[in-house]
Amino acid sequence: MKNGSYALPRRKTIFPVGEIKANPNLFDAPLTSISIRGTEIPDGKVFHFILALILPADEQGRRRSITLNNSPSYTDPNNLMRGVLLVEYHKDDDVDYVDANTAPSFVMSLSPGATAASVCNYLLTEHSFEKYDFNTDGQGCRHWCATALQKLAKAAFLDSDFETRFERWETDQNAKFGSKFPMPRITGSFYD
């Protein structure tokens, strides 16, 4: 893929937000790692999880990321739990997310040469991976993130020990956060 040549698929399930919409060259950035990040939701019952593609720090030492945030649309009267994916660039992800002491975060290194374009192309262009229905309570985001990492591991973007490390992390986070991090993992379902 040539620099500047990647564009997100044009589907009603994918929404580029902010700077990523105006500057698709951000997809050319190399990636250092990928994370599943939990964030507090207003009712405080469970965490909402997103994928974050971690870029190298900028010239000022600020961390940067491109986030893939799949959540129920609540706008389709035929399927309120149909997921929509927001894709957004963050210039300083330390400011945008709480730390691991107050919300769970799983980080995994990516194989050398991985870029935001190669990961997004694999997940979104080749596999339409945003096509996901959440359960009737609007939950299942951690399962969506975990399945994305499973696909990336099978395609050699991640180390082969991903599954073992992730399962251990989930067990540890459930012990730490209890019902806010339910086990077994709540699932939604993928569709074609």
Tokens of 22: 């105006």
User: How many whole angstroms separate alpha carbon 31 and alpha carbon 67?
Assistant: 12
Asked whether residue 148 is domain-assigned, the answer is yes
How high is the mean pLDDT in each 10-residue block of the chain (192 residues)?
Answer: 77 94 92 93 90 91 92 92 96 56 86 97 97 96 97 94 94 96 96 93
Q: 44: buried, middle or exposed (CB in 10 Å: 19+, 13-18, 0-12)?
A: exposed
C-alpha 14: how far from chain center: 13
Asked whether residue 132 is domain-assigned, the answer is yes
Asked whether residue 6 is domain-assigned, the answer is no
Note the pLDDT tens digit of each residue in 86-134. 999 988 755 444 455 568 899 999 999 999 999 999 999 999 999 999 9
pLDDT attached to residue 180? 94
User: How many whole angstroms separate alpha carbon 66 and alpha carbon 19?
Assistant: 10
pLDDT attached to residue 98? 45
Asked whether residue 3 is domain-assigned, the answer is no
Asked whether residue 97 is domain-assigned, the answer is yes
Asked whether residue 4 is domain-assigned, the answer is no
Range of the domain at 132: 14-190
Asked whether residue 98 is domain-assigned, the answer is yes
Helix (H, G, I), strand (E, B) or coil at 192: coil
Asked whether residue 9 is domain-assigned, the answer is no
The total number of structural domains that make up the chain: 1
Q: Where are the alpha helices (DSSP H) in the chain?
A: 19-22, 93-96, 116-120, 141-154, 162-177
User: How many whole angstroms separate alpha carbon 169 and alpha carbon 171?
Assistant: 5
Taken in order 9, 12, 15, 20, the sign of the CA dihedral is positive
